[in-house]
Amino acid sequence: MRKLIDLWKTFEDRFSMVLLSIMVILVFLSAVARAVGRPNPWSVEVAQLLFTWFTFAAASATWRRNGHVSVDIFYNRFPKKIQIVCDYISLILTAVFLGYISTYAVVLAIQNYERRLNVLPISYSWITISVAIFGYAMLLTTIFRIIRKIRGQQEILDTDVDTEQEREAQGK
């Protein structure tokens, strides 16, 4: 199971980096093509398609690292027991939300199967399914956090030990 999780982490990180690189190249090429009077509308559409995949893949990787923005002005002033209750409430609400949007994204992908993008002959489902895939990945991360919290284990952030290869290199 651990190898599968490590494989997913590596995929998610590299996938995000590759998508961002391709988007930057496509937008740059589109701007250059437009400047020389030969616009290509497909490059913008591909960049927009990749943007949805990048957004949710990067959001999942960031959630795994607990890197999303948080405002803890009041949270840090609460007693430890109230902080723990707030953590549980936050994680449960997050899990419910992620479960809902991910499931709805699957429904939407099925409903939009026939719908095509404006320029490319690609189903609109390719956009909505990215929400489901990485939404469920974030849901699993949230469930793992809840389980660790229930067991009283300290949360292991992805940045502590990223992959099995790094654990082996550290002699663990």
Hey, CA dihedral for 29, 30, 36, 37, is it positive or negative? positive
What per-residue confidence (pLDDT) applies to 45? 86
What per-residue confidence (pLDDT) applies to 159? 46
Tell me, rounded to whole angstroms, the distance of Cα 11 from its chain centroid: 11
Confidence of residue 161 (pLDDT cuts 50, 70, 90): very low
What per-residue confidence (pLDDT) applies to 32? 94
Average pLDDT of 67-96? 90
Lowest mean pLDDT among 33-42, 50-59, 79-88, 147-156: 147-156
What per-residue confidence (pLDDT) applies to 43? 87
pTM of the predicted model as reported, rounded to 2 decimal places: 0.81
Average pLDDT of 74-100? 94
Tell me how crowded residue 95 is: count the other CB atoms within 10 A of its CB: 18
- Whether pLDDT at 7 is above 60: yes
What per-residue confidence (pLDDT) applies to 67? 84
Using DSSP, state whether 7 is helix, strand or coil: helix
Q: Is the distance from CB of 122 to CB of 116 less than 8 angstroms?
A: yes
Q: Is the distance from CB of 100 to CB of 66 less than 8 angstroms?
A: no
What per-residue confidence (pLDDT) applies to 70? 79
- Whether pLDDT at 142 is above 90: yes
Tell me how crowded residue 46 is: count the other CB atoms within 10 A of its CB: 20
Residue the block writes with tokens 């209750």? 85
Phi, psi at residue 115, to the nearest 5°?
-70, 135
Residue 151 vs residues 58, 63, 80, 155: alpha-carbon distances, Å: 28, 20, 17, 10
In the 3-class helix/strand/coil scheme, how is 98-128 assigned residue by residue?
Answer: HHHHHHHHHHHHHHCCCCECCCCCCECHHHH
Q: Is the distance from CB of 172 to CB of 161 less than 8 angstroms?
A: yes
> Rounded CA gap, 83 and 164, in Å?
32
> Rounded CA gap, 28 and 20, in Å?
12
Q: pLDDT tens digit string along 11-41?
A: 999 999 999 999 999 999 999 999 999 988 8
Percent of the chain with pLDDT over 70: 89
Average pLDDT of 128-145? 95
